[in-house]
Structure 1
């Protein structure tokens, strides 16, 4: 009998979690992470560029992809609580450094949780917990927490187009691979 009473409570908890994620989410975020992946900096953050399937994008000092959220405005973050547990802000305790970027576009913004977040071209920057290694870009185009998440190009704008497809190369093996050497 007690199990029947617990079912409505479980259903309400699941519904509450679903409210935080839009139904139009491309890559569903199903449960909060157990940690922020060490994103809280105790020193100055670094911002760099790398080549990716989306072209040149911004990454943090560990090579993790940096994203912007379209719901942010005026250089201020709108991502706190559960949002920040999935999309950890790129924190810094000092002036962020940069490499291969327009240094005048690198800045910071004060967060309401009394931390400092790295910005680029006025956009607060975030990592994504499902990007588990350098080069991952699994957060691109996800819509949740009031906006859409995009990787950031070196011009400081969101990269909203599909990834570039590499040009096919002729196969020299003649192994019947469709004429492409993948």
Structure 2
């Protein structure tokens, strides 16, 4: 192959790789910051945990679900890393179904089932199950309600997702909604909310 042809092929390959990387890094939001609607035919990629870039699954050796007590909400459910788990009012518990996909699932990563969902602390195992998401992954449920993390919760114990859009609530050990005397204003809690 002539040298000029090899050089042209190398440049074209580099441009194609750059375009592919740029497309994968797309945020899925429009320039206004509002969520864009993903094509109905495409299944969303497995969501990532906001701080680690890995699926929102419990660490091995730690309980898959556990409880913690907060000063503002009382006892709430967390994942094995101590991050608060939430439920979404637009989901259904009977039958279990998640309605948070695409951009919503980027802001609210589903709590995916790890290898051993029997690892529980402070939660009745009869209330814990999974639901199959549209991408085929298994999401943890509590009393039928799919569970999620909130992308704006930057450290264990944060509860910034409580009351967002009036439809996202920290989960209680029975799968109910945690309540507080005063909840944060929904749109101003950061991360856009994506109430869908």
Aligned position for 2:30: 13
Residue 95 to residue 75, structure 1, CA distance change in 2 (3 Å): farther
Structure 1 unaligned runs (5+)? 1-11, 21-32, 165-182
The one of 133, 136, 145 aligned to 2:158: 136
Distance 1:152 1:93 in 2: 19
Question: Displacement of 1:19 after TM fit?
Answer: 5.6
Change (3 A) 1:18 1:49: same
Does 2:121 align with 1:99? yes
Partner of 1:47: 65
Relative to structure 1, the CA distance from residue 81 to residue 19 in structure 2 (aligned partners, 3 Å threshold; closer, same or farther) is closer
CA distance in 1, matches of 2:84, 2:58: 19
Distance 1:130 1:101 in 2: 25
| 8 A Cα contact 1:43 1:94, kept in partner | no
Identify which of 171, 176, 183 aligns with 1:157.
176
Measured in 2, the distance between the counterparts of 1:65 and 1:134 equals: 7
CA RMSD of aligned residues (A): 2.7
Does structure 1 residue 65 correspond to structure 2 residue 84?
yes
Q: Does 1:118 align with 2:135?
A: no
Q: Structure 2 regions of 5+ residues with no counterpart?
A: 1-28, 37-47, 184-196
Distance 2:182 2:159 in 1: 10
Q: 8 Å contact 2:108–2:148 — kept in the other structure?
A: yes
Post-superposition shift, 1:93?
3.9
The question of whether the paired residues in 1 share the 8 Å contact of 2:58 and 2:79 is answered with: no
Is the CA contact (8 Å cut-off) linking 1:58 and 1:154 kept in structure 2?
yes
Matched, 1:85 2:85: no
1:153 deviates by: 1.0
Structure 1 runs (4+) greater than 4 angstroms displaced: 33-36, 42-45
